[in-house]
Amino acid sequence: MFKGAIVAIVTPFKNGSIDEQTLRELIEFQIESGTDGIVPCGTTGESPTLSHEEHDRVIEITIDAVKKRVPVIAGTGSNSTAEALRLTEHAYQAGADGVLVVAPYYNWPTQEGLYQHYKTLAESIPIPIVPYNIPSRTGVNILPETVARLAKIENIVGIKEASGSLKQMNDVISLCDNGFSVLSGDDFFTLPLLTLGGKGIISVISNVAPADMAGLVDAFEAGNLQKARELHDKMVPLIDALFIETNPTPVKAALAMMGKMSADVRLPLYQMSEANLGKLRQVMQDYGLIR
């Protein structure tokens, strides 16, 4: 159901508030560049620092701006199942095409607890659900066997896999049927995952170089592995630079260099150090994104 190059879009801020006009402009930039879907209110969208009202508003703006041209997969995860239910219900009522639900963080649920968390969401709200596995941030790993159980639930349609393990990604693909979308949560693994049978990427780099990430996926699907590999190699230095500090601080700084938005992030994230900002600027220049 969900495939291709999907952007985990930033949430632009201005004077401490959401910059609604800039968010709409960023969405147009994405769609014009060939992006296959938009994820608002993910980690890259700084969802942990958004109030509930802001979270709901960002999703509503995104749905309105996209106007069904590509799927909107709203971030609605929480470490409280009740809160995830509320966020998911809002996204459903607002008209999202699906929801991205990060594994409950901090409270360390068991595999059965993870299964019951997602099962409760799926049985309560009839919207396509994509669990998000990122153990480095959540402290818990959704194991392939648990994903296989979840894949049997009709409206759990894929997973965003950011375990950092190609073996785990391969196991998930092997255990689930071909209709289940395994999406990379790490830009670097996009091409390797596609070769294993994955369906695409929920991407950070797409915020600044959407045409290249979309081009990589399109080239692979067209059987042009050489072009896909060339785009992969081209993007690797930029991917590295965008994670030189905690995401999304560098990608917001990069977008500011491109003149697209303010670099503002919310505490406890903080502006980049001058040394790392200089390194990012050099990579952006080498890539051709700025002069």
Q: pLDDT at residue 108 above 90?
A: yes
- Output helix, strand, coil percentages for the chain, rounded to the nearest 5: 50, 15, 35
CA torsion sign, 29 to 30 to 32 to 38? negative
* Contact indicator for 63, 26 with CB cutoff of 8 Å: no
The model's confidence at residue 1, banded by pLDDT at 50, 70 and 90, is: confident
Q: What is the pLDDT of residues 164-179, one digit of tens each?
A: 999 999 999 999 998 9
Residue 202 annotated as lining a ligand binding site: yes
Which domains can be identified in the chain, with CATH numbers? 4-224 (3.20.20.70)
Please state, in angstroms and rounded to a whole number, the distance separating the CA atoms of residues 27 and 25. Answer: 5
Mean pLDDT value of segment 46-57: 97
**Mean of the per-residue pLDDT values for the chain?**
97
Rounded average pLDDT over 235-259: 98
Q: Looking at 3, 160, 199, 252, which residue is catalytic?
A: 160
Active site residue 160: yes
Residue 268 burial (C-beta neighbours within 10 Å; 0-12, 13-18, 19+): exposed
Average pLDDT over residues 9-34: 97
Q: What is the pLDDT of residue 33?
A: 98
How far apart, in whole angstroms, are the C-alpha atoms of residue 16 and residue 185? Answer: 28
The residue annotated as part of the active site, out of 132, 252, 260, 279, is 132
Evaluate if residue 248 carries a pLDDT over 90. Answer: yes
